[in-house]
Chain A
Amino acid sequence: MKKKYAMAYIVDRCVDCKACMVACKAEWEVPEDKFRTHIDTGVSPDYTDTMRMHFLPHQCNHCDDAPCVTVCPTKASYKREDGIVSVNQKICVGCKYCIVSCPYDARFFNHELGVAEKCTFCLPRIAEGLAPACVTTCPGNVRVFGDINDPNSEISALLRDAATNHYKVWKLRQDLGTRPNIYYIQK
């Protein structure tokens, strides 16, 4: 069966240490003021006794129905067989249309190269059998990466486990029809 790469975050393990952001930046020489992955912070429910802080990692969702791919005039943004949404920097004209089309604000403009840029699930690393840099670095084991079409992968096991234990599992803004491939799990 074809591979389909996906990532899950076990969000209640995240402590906002931002090691993933740093690891990603160091690995890929991301421009100084930009990041390919972020940690959002939020407070909920607002102004109550049970109020608590949440940390929510996010990055490119490698959407199955990716607006960034639909709108790219040159077909520089494309969806690979293995599910990864990639940018061919050789033919990216730098129109930034994909950047405004992404509901997850996952892309940015690389001013040095003049092209759009985003998370690639560490393509060169996974080709060598390594995990993405953020996954390797995360001290809390928040991030689980793998092939969801392989029932023996760690991510498949995690999602099965989450289903049997009725953990809360969701994806971001599914209402937009982008069919993202990042799973959020709250135990």
Chain B
Amino acid sequence: MVFQEAFEWYIAVYLFLAGVGAGAIVAAVLADMYDREKYLSFIKAASVIGMPLVSIGIFFLYIDLGQGMWKPWLLLLLFVNPTSAISWGTGILTLFTIFSMLYAVYNLGLSRYFRFAGGWLPRLLDGMGGSGWMRWMLVITGICTAGYTAVLLGVLRAIPFWHQTALPILFIISATSTGISGAMIVRELAFRTEDSMHKIETTHFYLIVLEILLLAGMFFIAMQGVPEMQFSAKSLLNGRFAIEFWVVLVFLGLLVPAVVFALGESGRLHLKGGKLIFFEALVLLGGYFLRFLIVHAGVYTQKFTDYIQ
């Protein structure tokens, strides 16, 4: 069995940051649709990280490209092949970046800095950023961005562990969960209000539980899968990535936050300040390791001597 080594940690960072940025915006827009006034601090915090994190993620992809630095004009060609998932992703990410920028300008009241040429620009920007269709476009392109990061891997038949439908669902859930964490941290640092974020916290708790269940399900299925898939799964469960998998992803990234948030749910713990930031950061750490481990556990279809009878 041969582990793929072409996609390395740069790609994992790209998938992770694109997920956090998109997840934060999707969570914020849903909160916005529900009750804008109440969740304004959360919406603002998510707007601060949404577009920038996706852009930083794209930057990691860019420096990973063999030719990104030498022939940047080739990036235009990333759009040209309709059968390539990278081309779909480039389109989706471009749209999402533009929409989330407009949304951030509106939420953070930045349009006033564009007051020239007769003042029509701020009105236009706010009109677009605050419109109902923009919210829907953000939800759609945001979910597509988060899901795409897994579809990118999932379309590859060459690596059975990636070639599974559960992956995009897992990545969308993880993106939303890490997006909420990112926004909660920024809110705590910069926009703290006394408003209760209870509904968001509850949602966050259930997302983490769902992620644990889905991950467990994925492993049960992978262990019954083709040999390459089993090999990938075992490399995480008791092979070369086992320590990172159990300690960082499962324990620190999922179980600890799940227990802490469960205590919060039942009212036995009230998280705020440094403690909140710490546990939300654990979720982010788990989110990164989820991508990192899935990328690295990819094993090519079986070597061929096994096919000689």
Partner of A44, one of B4, B64, B158, B309: B309
Please determine whether A176 and B156 come into contact, CB atoms closer than 8 angstroms. no
A residues near B90, Cβ cutoff 8 Å = 73
Q: Does A124 contact B (CB under 8 A)?
A: no
A residues near B80, Cβ cutoff 8 Å = 73-75
Whole-angstrom distance between the alpha carbons of A58 and B84 in the complex? 26
A residues near B304, Cβ cutoff 8 Å = 40, 42, 56, 58, 104, 172-173
Q: Does A148 contact B (CB under 8 A)?
A: no
Please tell me the number of chain A residues within 8 Å of chain B, measured between CB atoms: 45
Please determine whether B86 and A41 come into contact, CB atoms closer than 8 angstroms. no
Using CB atoms, name the residue of chain A closest to B84. Answer: A73
Supposing A70-B83, A73-B81, A115-B66 touch, asked if A91 and B305 sit within 8 A by C-beta, the answer is no
Q: Is the interface of B mostly helix, strand, loop or mixed?
A: loop
Could you give, for residues 272-309 of chain B, a 1 whenever the CB lies within 8 Å of some chain A CB and a 0 otherwise? Answer: 00000000000000000000000000101101111111
Please determine whether B156 and A67 come into contact, CB atoms closer than 8 angstroms. yes
**Distance (Å) between the CB of A58 and the closest chain B CB?**
6
Could you give, for residues 1-18 of chain B, a 1 whenever the CB lies within 8 Å of some chain A CB and a 0 otherwise? Answer: 010101100000000000
Please determine whether B66 and A94 come into contact, CB atoms closer than 8 angstroms. yes
**Distance (Å) between the CB of B103 and the closest chain A CB?**
27
Partner of A70, one of B74, B84, B303: B84
**Distance (Å) between the CB of B92 and the closest chain A CB?**
13
B residues near A58, Cβ cutoff 8 Å = 304
**Distance (Å) between the CB of A31 and the closest chain B CB?**
13
B residues near A70, Cβ cutoff 8 Å = 83-84
Partner of B6, one of A71, A100, A114: A100
Whole-angstrom distance between the alpha carbons of A170 and B67 in the complex? 38
Please determine whether B68 and A71 come into contact, CB atoms closer than 8 angstroms. no
**Distance (Å) between the CB of A69 and the closest chain B CB?**
8
7 A–B pairs (Cβ distance < 8 Å), ordered by A: A41-B305, A70-B84, A75-B77, A93-B74, A109-B6, A114-B67, A173-B307
Query: Closest 9 interchain pairs by CB?
Result: A94-B66, A42-B305, A114-B66, A74-B77, A73-B86, A103-B158, A99-B6, A96-B6, A73-B84
